[in-house]
Amino acid sequence: MNEAGCIFCKIIKREIPSKIVFENDLNLAFLDISPISKGHTIVIPKKHYSTLEDIPEDELAETIKVVKKISINIHKSLEIDGYNILQNNFAAAGQVVKHFHMHIIPRSYDDDKFRLEIPKNQASDEELNEIYGQLKF
Ligand code: 5GP
Ligand code: ZN
């Protein structure tokens, strides 16, 4: 399953070049062309799914296995202190390429890239209860 015009589908089909670091039947991992840090890698399923909501759970599980394998290799091979796994869904969350993908972003204590600083907003018990009522299964 490929989608016309999708840049990642073109990478899978070798219609555009990329630095592929790992490939199996279902997944592909390649270096990000505009890396946030050295070794920034993208992992994708070979089938075109737009977001997390579209990829079947068994295929998602296979993709996560590859993310783990590549992450361990990056951690072993590069002099880094850690890494972020990032996965954007929909434009509002910063998704640009509409082919489900996971970022592996190598990090060092002093890399001055970005820090996930989670803003601490206040929420009353009433507000928490309201959203809890909407979300709990
Ligand atoms: P998003 O913002 O959609 O989560 O991230 C898409 C990522 O794909 C970006 O980090 C961008 O640099 C990367 N990317 C976009 N086009 C290409 C390409 O043609 N080749 C490679 N290797 N990476 C790409
Ligand atoms: Zn695609």
Centre of ligand 1 from the C-alpha of residue 122, in Å: 35
- Domain segments of the chain as ranges: 7-135
Reported as a single tens digit per residue, the pLDDT across 47-69 is 999 999 999 999 999 999 999 99
Closest residue CA from atom 4 of ligand 1: 95
Query: What band does 135 get if pLDDT is binned at 50, 70 and 90?
Result: very high
Residue 77 vs residues 5, 59, 71, 81, 136: alpha-carbon distances, Å: 34, 27, 10, 12, 42
Reported as a single tens digit per residue, the pLDDT across 73-122 is 999 999 999 999 999 999 999 999 999 999 999 999 999 887 777 777 88
* Bridge partners for 46 per DSSP: none
In CATH, what number does 7-135 get?
Answer: 3.30.428.10
DSSP state of 92: G
Q: Which residues are catalytic?
A: 101
Query: What band does 23 get if pLDDT is binned at 50, 70 and 90?
Result: very high
Ligand 2 is an ion; its neighbours by CB within 5 Å are: 3, 6, 8-9, 48, 99
Q: Is residue 1's pLDDT more than 60?
A: no
pLDDT at 105: 97
pLDDT at 117: 73
pLDDT at 113: 83
Centre of ligand 2 from the C-alpha of residue 8, in Å: 5
Q: Phi and psi of 134, rounded to 5°?
A: -80, -30
For the chain, what is the total number of helices (H) and then of strands (E)? 3, 5
pLDDT at 60: 98
Centre of ligand 1 from the C-alpha of residue 16, in Å: 13
pLDDT at 112: 84
- Is 32 close to ligand 1, i.e. is its CB under 6 Å away? yes
CB 86: neighbour CB atoms within 10 A?
15
Entry pTM: 0.93
* Buried/exposed 45-81: b ≥16 CB within 10 Å, e otherwise: bbbbbbbeeebeeebbebbeebbeebbebbbeeeebe
Q: Is residue 131's pLDDT more than 60?
A: yes
